[in-house]
Amino acid sequence: MKNILKFIALSLLVLTGVSCNTEYLDPNSTLEPDVVNSTDNLIKLINGIQQRWSSDRSGVLYTNTHISGLNTGELRLLNPGNLGENGLVLGGVNVDGGNEILNNIWTNAMLCRKEANTIINAADQATDNTELANSLKAYGLFYRALVHGTLIQVYERIPVEIIENAPFVDKSAVLQNAIADLEEAKSHIGTGISSEVVSGVFGSVDIENSVNALLARFNLMAGNYTEAVTAATEVDLNVKSTWEFDAAVPNALAFWFGSQNVTQAKDTSFGLPGSLMPDPADARIPFYVTAEDFSIPSPNYQVVGFYTDNLDEVPVYLPGEMLLIIAESHARNNNLVDAEIALNAVLTKTATTDVFGLGAGLPVYSGALTQEALLDEIYKNRRIELYLSGLGLEDTRRFGRPGAQEADAERNRDYYPYPNAERDNNTNTPVNPTS
């Protein structure tokens, strides 16, 4: 990233408040008029959203990865003195509305959404150039959808409006809202992205492919399987879309994994039960996890993959996710032959045929051609291929894996309590889930 732009972008952010109350909007902010009346500053605000999302231990990339990873057995805690992470490891009643990680993901995601709303609402007044205004809106809509679609994987309900005492809506409504935002963004992208925006935003996020990838992801979660296949098919699997970093703003996951003081890989099971263990020959195991000596009883497992260097870029989505979305959608529609074809594309993919160098290098699927068997294999491959993507918790629920209060539980909570700060500021905050 360009440090000078990041510095300016951060200086433009409105950092007031921690709830979905009016503090997130604050029309009286002395900084906001300087943002909304300038396309240059709106572009810098887009860069600020990207930085807020992907950087720092309080950012959404770190917190989402750890909420899902510590819940579903992808990660282990090295130091229980990290109280937020420790609560997530313990799960159940040990997680409450005061948990630091839950407060951080909520606050920073809602601030990203506030800033995305600013861009969407200000674009037309900042310029008479329709292409430029629509290009700004496309980025704002992308990030707003990303916020909603990410938070609804952690919480049962969230607000989608920025108003005082905003009502909380259920998962179906949230995903519908996110999909509508992405469809609108796609329509703006279809008419052409302004060169002024292209030259000003951080170029690591490929907006066209990322919008289609999120459409595929959220349509799958919503049960819109035909639409999910269509969107996933439109993603160019040879194009990278990433969160990028530099020396001043490092890859927070790589930094903290490297500190050896917070979390590390739990083992090479990827949080899977004994019946779905990875094939030892799976090349994705050494891609993501290593150890000095695998032969000893309790190896000191370490995360590698996209997290070995502070400058490592982290994918916004992976090509394998798109293939597995196609496979799952076909399987759920009982198009079993097509599901097997997409699944085999993941199993046989090698490092040389994947733009990120991530491949399983395994034989084709040889199990039963039934919906149940295919879905089990697809789930298994999602947990391996998409390790530390933050999607594991949602996957355990969608695939009907044993929940927090069931025998042989594969997650320690089903959903999380709402932050105390939100409850203190919004009387519509629902009762916390019991598990």
All structural domains of the chain, each given as residue ranges with its CATH number in brackets, are 3-265+277-404 (1.25.40.390)
Does residue 344 contact residue 364 with C-beta atoms inside 8 Å? yes
pTM for the predicted model, two decimal places: 0.94
Task: List per-residue pLDDT tens for the chain, 435 residues long.
Answer: 444 344 344 434 444 333 444 344 333 333 466 788 899 999 999 999 999 999 999 999 999 999 999 999 999 999 999 999 999 999 999 999 999 999 999 999 999 999 999 999 999 999 999 999 999 999 999 999 999 999 999 999 999 999 999 999 999 999 999 999 999 999 999 999 999 999 999 999 999 999 999 999 999 999 999 999 999 999 999 999 999 999 999 999 999 999 999 999 999 999 999 999 999 999 999 999 999 999 999 999 999 999 999 999 999 999 999 999 999 999 999 999 999 999 999 999 999 999 999 999 999 999 999 999 999 999 999 999 999 999 999 999 999 999 999 999 999 999 999 999 999 999 999 999 999
Q: Which two tokens stand for residue 389?
A: 């993507």
CA 346 – CA 84 distance, rounded (Å): 35
What is the structure's pLDDT at 32? 62
Please state whether 60 falls in left (phi above 0), alpha (psi between -120 and 50) or beta: alpha
CA 321 – CA 245 distance, rounded (Å): 23
What separation, in Å, do the N-terminal and C-terminal C-alpha atoms of the chain show? 40
Handedness of CA 408, 269, 322, 142 (dihedral sign): positive
CA 327 – CA 329 distance, rounded (Å): 6
Q: Which two tokens stand for residue 358?
A: 């991530």
| Angle (nearest 5°) at CA 238 between 237 and 244 | 95
Strand bridging mode 314-315 / 242-243: antiparallel
What is the structure's pLDDT at 36? 84
CA 61 – CA 314 distance, rounded (Å): 9
The 3 state secondary structure assigned to the chain is CCHHHHHHHHHHCCCCCCCCCHHHCCCCCCCHHHHHCCHHHHHHHHHHHHHHHHECCCCHHHHHHHHHHHHCCCEEECCCCCHHHHHHHHCHHHCCCCCHHHHHHHHHHHHHHHHHHHHHHHHHHHCCCHHHHHHHHHHHHHHHHHHHHHHCCCCCEEECCCCCCCCEEEHHHHHHHHHHHHHHHHHHHHCCCCHHHHHHCCCCCCHHHHHHHHHHHHHHHHCCHHHHHHHHHCCCCCCCCEECCCCCCCEHHHHHHHHCCCEEECCCCCCCCHHHCCCCCCCHHHHHEECCCCCCCCCCCEECCCCCCCCCCEECCCHHHHHHHHHHHHHHCCCHHHHHHHHHHHHCCCHHHCCCCCCCCCCCCCCCCCHHHHHHHHHHHHHHHCCCCCCHHHHHHHCCCCCCCCCCCCCCCCCCCCCHHHHHHCCCCCCCCCC
Does residue 60 contact residue 256 with C-beta atoms inside 8 Å? no
Per the listing, tokens 């992976």 go with 318
CA 2 – CA 296 distance, rounded (Å): 45
Per the listing, tokens 């997409």 go with 342
CA 11 – CA 21 distance, rounded (Å): 22
Query: Could you give the count of Cα atoms lying within 13 Å of 232 in the half-sphere of its Cβ?
Result: 26
CA 187 – CA 229 distance, rounded (Å): 18
Does residue 275 contact residue 380 with C-beta atoms inside 8 Å? no
CB atoms under 10 Å from CB of 11, counted, come to 12
